[in-house]
Each structure stands twice: as structure tokens, then as C-alpha cells.
Chains A and B, each alone.
Chain A
């Protein structure tokens, strides 16, 4: 059996010369100390390969038309054997690819591997990052659910702000003036043909450049390759590889395979455990009860756009985003030589820390989206019984005003309800009765004024109810912040107990 396979392989190799072609790349020398830090790029490639394979399988069933795309996902989830797993692996490998690509870029940046002579390798890497994000975004649109609908809406709105060509570009992407069936067709073409094609080309270029310039050593204090000097680096690197380098296969490739194997198992476990992503409710612009949010790679953008004031949005989209992208492309030209040690590059290291912290915090805010009103809270989130027992008839009417005026969509009682505004379960310990009435009538900050929407009776009842909302043992406030001391003491007593 084995000898037959060997004979067949020898025949194929003889006729095609495949080993002659693959041999040099596989045997090219890499630094001996290029160990576990160097596995992330291969793993990103693995996730891309998985997406190509699963994407082809999904395309056999998926119907890229406005009226049947959503149903074809349900068909995959509930009817096609293993269809849900295919969707899950495709979606999670997309997230994993973005994550692994960011880890790879962080490693390259911190190790200064973008410096001379690898500037073009970095530029190809940034282009790959943008293509990966574009693939992830267009992939989300393929679900054709409410997340996709609103995601496209926001993307189109951002694109429309580009001076001069914004309107034309939006029309081109949407396939018309509004989001419809043509929009899905265009995004399908992007997701399945154009972007993967670009991706394969860019990966080819990236790998070719890696082979041309070699893999940079892990920078160590006083070690080889700590400093990059344009005059000497190339010759010194060549010399070091000749003396101390090891062939990529099998030395370095083994580590890649082990890491990729582990990540593959993790991917399958995550897919089996968490299942496919979406679909959320059907795309319906009239349905205000949906709470759309983008996939993981775009949560931070979602958070930024939600938290910034509208006046800054234009500058962020038109000025800041291109500037950041330009800086990213120009990194190798801004710091192309000198030390590669992260500890010798405090600004670079600090930038990474700030960037990662910012992305994590913004993504977390994107997940929780505390700014989004909970649109059905006024009818579906109960007034907790503790706020009903012992209340006067007027206060009970005030609780009804609270619900009927949809205050609960933004404010919670005992943690239940919207989180956009402050919790009201202890409002009386912060605001006096007069302040509550002023706040209701005039509003403040993001809160609209209800003065013209509520009658005197409704305002009085609402104030009566809210003024009864204070923690047990804390008297309601009679002047601003009057009960802060009591609250602090209560917190201390609770902590001691």
C-alpha cells in the first residue's frame, strides 16, 4: 500500500517537478530563534483556507437574493445535515482570522520586523488587514438579517459623507438609492469573488516578500539583528542565516503545524459550543424592537460612532480614518531603521498598549451598548414589586406614568430596563422632589424635556413615585446630594456585613 503511494508520488513529482518548485521555499533558512512568536501568520493563513473551503460548501446552498437569502440560512441551520456546523465554522474562523491577524501584526510591530528591508512586506500586510476586514464586513451582510441591514445602512451613510464622490460611491455599493436585493448581489460578488481574489493575490505577494527578505530574528538585547542599519543589515543577515539558520521545513514548520492543529481544535470546539452567528430577526426597517449590532471586528467602530457627538462624526470619518490608515501604511518609513527591541521603543510599545486597551474597552461597550434604549422595556420589564408594595394610590399612578411615558426604555429600576440613563431605583437619594420635577419637565443632556408631554397630574404622580424610590435606611434627599453621606455609610455597612 505505502509503496504504491510512494511510486505514484514519484511519478507525479517526476512529471510535474513539484518538489523542485516547492523545495527551495520549504528549505529556505529561517533564524534558529524564530520560535513560538512566529506561528501567528501561518495560523491566519489556516483560518483563511478554512473560510475558502467552508465558503465554497456554503455557496452550494446559500441563495444570494433578497427574498431567499435569509431562508437559505434557516435551511442550512435546520435542514441540511451539519449545515449549522459549517456556518458556525465559517463565521468563527472569520473572527479568528481577524484576531490572529491582529496578533500577528502586533508581534511584527513590537519586534520591529517591519523595518528595512521589509517595508513592502508590512505594506502588503496592512493591505491584507483591510481586505480581511472587508471580507468580514461583507460576510456579515450575507446573513441578510437586521444586523446586516443596519450595518449596510451605517456603512452607506459613512461612505456618503466622502466629499464629491460619496453619493456616487454609495449608489454603486448599494446598487441603487436604497438597500435592496441589488445590494445583496453586489456584496455577494465582493465577498465571494472580488475580495477572496484580492486576498489570494496579496497573500502570494506577502509570502513572496517573506521568502525574498527572510524572517527577521527575535530581537534580543545584544543579540543579532537588534539594530537595523541599511548599510550592513542585508549582508549580516545573509551571513547569519548561512551560519546559524535552520531550514523552514521541518524545523519551523513543525511549530506552525502544532499551533495550527491546536487552533483548529479550538475553532471546532467553539463552533460546536456557540453555534453559528445569527441570523438575527429579518431585515425590516419598520421593526424598532431589534437591537442591531455588528460582528466582533466592528464593535469598536460601533461604539465610537455611538459615543461621539454628531458634530465630530464627519471629521472622524473623512479626516481621522484616512490619516490613521496612512500612518499605518507609513510605519516602516517613519521608523525604518534603528533598534528593533520593544523596550528601546517606548512610543511604539505605549501605542500598542493604548490601542489594545482602547479596542478592548470599545468592543466591550459595543457588546453591552449601554447607550441603546431598550425599546420594549415599557411594556415588558415589570416594575419590581418592591417598588409597588406600600406605595400610595398616587405613587402607583406615577409608576404607570413612568411605564406609559417609556422612561423605562432608557432608565432601569433595580437594574431592569434600559441603561442609557441613570438607574431610578435610588433616584430619591440623589435628587430632591423639586429637582426630580425640574429634570422631568426640562430634561438635561441626552434626556428630552417632558414638560409639554405630561400634564400637571402626571408630572406630580411621577415625581411622587420617583421620590419614593430610595434604598431602605436612606432618607430621600431634600437638597442636591444631601444623602450622599448616608449612601456611603450604607455601602460601608453592607461591605462589613
Chain B
């Protein structure tokens, strides 16, 4: 009799286990949609849309680091939103919502707010920041070449064509064909701190600490870099 009860209990055990709504590993957990403006929502948008080019944690990607408080302090919100929506230059695609994916206007707006909140340094009092865009007509090409040789030449070579054991060329015709004037200016202002290239405040190799580029220097160097660009179509025609 006792043996029969044991068998019965053993047979009923799986049924009882199956009937209990315990938290077994297989119990589905309802995914909570991230709240708009939250860090989770910001991360979701970044990981799905930006990570590929801008790198993990917003740094160390082939494209400009976005996790850079200086960059986020200088770039105007409307420019950031426009670039995210419509894209910029040759290789930055726009992420406007289409039937096949993309981000809504609200998501882009939340992302702009979120990036400044989570990766920016809004409490810091930034002084003497250069303007994001090149003022119209600004920049002296000759002076820019000299400034480049002085500040950037130790890594990129005095003429910008690169050094064998240093940084690469910034006057390569194909490189200049792929980047916009604004991208060149942004690189002069913000550098690539994640890759060892300083922003306009320095320190520049071989220069005294604290000696950086002035807004006029930035205009000039940008103008000089742009002046190195050649038309590939015209070159091909020749």
C-alpha cells in the first residue's frame, strides 16, 4: 500500500511541478519598454543605430567619438538633430523614420537630450570655446599651413602627408574627398582623444603645456586642409 502511494506521488510530482507558477528559468519575463528619456532608452538607440561606427561607449570607433564632453558642449542641438535625421557628408547616414526602420522625430529629440545629459558635462563652465562652424570667409591658408606644421607636424609630418611611425596623411586626396569641410574643422577642434590626437587645447607634442590653438588658428588650419583637396573628376579628366 505504502509502495503504491510512493508510485502515485512520483507520478503526480511532474503534474504538480507543471501546475505551479513558480519562477523557473524558463518563465518568460515581460520586457519593459524603456521610458523615453531614460538611460536605458538612450542606450537602446545608441546600440542599435550608432555603435557600428562610433564605437563601444561612444569612443574608439572609426567615426568621431560622441562620448566627448567638449564635442557635446560645442555642437548646437539643432545641428546634432539635423545630422542625426538627415545624415552628413558621404558616410554618415540619416536615421529618419522610414517604413523599413529608423528613428522617429521624438526618438531623435530624446537622443539629443540624452547624449548631452549622459555623456556631456553640462555643469562644467566652458570658456573660450570656438564656434562649431567655420565663420564665413574666415581662415588664412598660408598661416594655416604654418600653424599645422607647428602643432600637428610632429605626428602628421610638416606637410600633413604622414610619418612612417606616426599618424597618417591628412592631405591624402581620397581622404579629403570623403570628408566634409566641417568634418575637417571638427577634427581640428576636437581631435581624436580616444586615439591619442589632442583637441584644440593641446597638449601638442613638442609644444609647451597649455599652449593650444586659438579660434583663428582653427579657422586657418581648416582652410589649409580644405585647400589641399583636389577634384578627383578633374584629375581623372587630365
Residues of A in contact with B (beta carbons under 8 Å apart): 77-78, 81-82, 84-86, 88-89, 261, 264-265, 267-268, 271-276, 286, 288-289, 376-383, 385, 388-389, 391-397, 399-401, 403-404, 408, 455-458, 460-461, 464
Contacts and interface: CB of A to CB of B under 8 A. Distances in A.
B60 A461 contact: no
B174 interface: yes
B224 to A, nearest CB: 15
Interface in B150-196: 162, 167-170, 172-175, 177-179, 195
B63 A380 contact: no
Given A380-B51, A397-B62, A273 B168 contact: no
B24 A273 contact: yes
B49 A379 contact: yes
B56 A385 contact: yes
Contacts of B18: 82, 85-86, 89, 268, 271-272
Nearest to A417: B52
A396 B162 CA distance: 14
Contacts of A81: 21
17 contacts: A268-B14, A275-B25, A275-B26, A275-B27, A289-B101, A379-B50, A381-B51, A383-B52, A383-B62, A385-B55, A392-B168, A397-B178, A397-B179, A404-B91, A457-B173, A457-B232, A458-B178
Nearest to B170: A393
10 nearest A-B pairs in the assembled complex, by CB-CB distance: A392-B168, A275-B26, A399-B62, A272-B24, A457-B177, A385-B60, A457-B174, A268-B14, A394-B175, A400-B91
A392 B20 CA distance: 61
A388 B25 contact: no
Nearest to B62: A399
B77 to A, nearest CB: 22
Interface in B18-74: 18-21, 24-28, 30, 47-53, 55-56, 60-63
B237 interface: no
A376 B25 contact: no
B107 to A, nearest CB: 14
A168 to B, nearest CB: 33
A382 B202 CA distance: 28
A458 B232 contact: no
A77 B101 CA distance: 28
B209 interface: no
B210 interface: no
A77 B178 contact: no
A389 B60 contact: yes
Contacts of B48: 376, 379-380
Contact of A400 (B21, B27, B53, B60): B53
Contacts of A385: 55-56, 60-61
A393 B24 CA distance: 52
Given A271-B18, A388-B62, A392-B168, A461 B174 contact: yes
A7 B184 CA distance: 96
Contacts of B90: 458
A82 B91 contact: no
B206 interface: no
B10 interface: yes
Given A380-B47, A389-B195, A84 B19 contact: no
A403 B52 contact: yes
A437 to B, nearest CB: 12
Contact of A82 (B20, B49, B61, B169): B20
B28 A272 contact: no
A377 B49 CA distance: 10
Interface of B: 10-11, 13-14, 17-21, 24-28, 30, 47-53, 55-56, 60-63, 90-91, 93, 99-101, 162, 167-170, 172-175, 177-179, 195, 232, 236
A261 B10 contact: yes
Contacts of B10: 261
A22 B30 CA distance: 48
B170 A403 contact: no
Given A85-B24, A392-B172, 20 more contacts: A82-B20, A82-B21, A85-B18, A88-B26, A265-B13, A275-B28, A289-B101, A376-B48, A377-B52, A379-B53, A383-B62, A385-B55, A385-B56, A391-B168, A392-B162, A392-B169, A394-B172, A395-B168, A397-B62, A403-B53
Nearest to B49: A379
A78 to B, nearest CB: 5
B234 to A, nearest CB: 13
B93 A404 contact: yes
A264 B50 CA distance: 48
A394 B91 contact: no
Nearest to B28: A77
A190 B63 CA distance: 54
A393 B168 contact: yes
A264 B14 CA distance: 7
Contact of A84 (B28, B56, B177, B179): B28
B51 A382 contact: yes
Contacts of A457: 173-175, 177-178, 232
A393 B172 contact: yes
Contact of A401 (B14, B24, B91): B91
A338 to B, nearest CB: 43
B100 A288 contact: yes
Contacts of B28: 77-78, 84, 275-276
A271 B173 CA distance: 61
A272 B16 CA distance: 12
Contact of B53 (A276, A383, A461): A383
A85 B30 CA distance: 15
Contacts of B175: 393-394, 397, 457, 461
Nearest to B22: A272
B61 A388 contact: yes
Nearest to B176: A457
B30 A78 contact: yes
A404 B173 CA distance: 20
Given A275-B27, A456-B174, A461-B174, A85 B52 contact: no
Nearest to B13: A265
A7 to B, nearest CB: 18
Contacts of A395: 168
A322 to B, nearest CB: 39
Contacts of B56: 382, 385
A276 B26 contact: yes
Nearest to A289: B101
A404 B92 CA distance: 8
Contact of A388 (B26, B93, B195): B195
B67 to A, nearest CB: 13
A389 B195 CA distance: 6
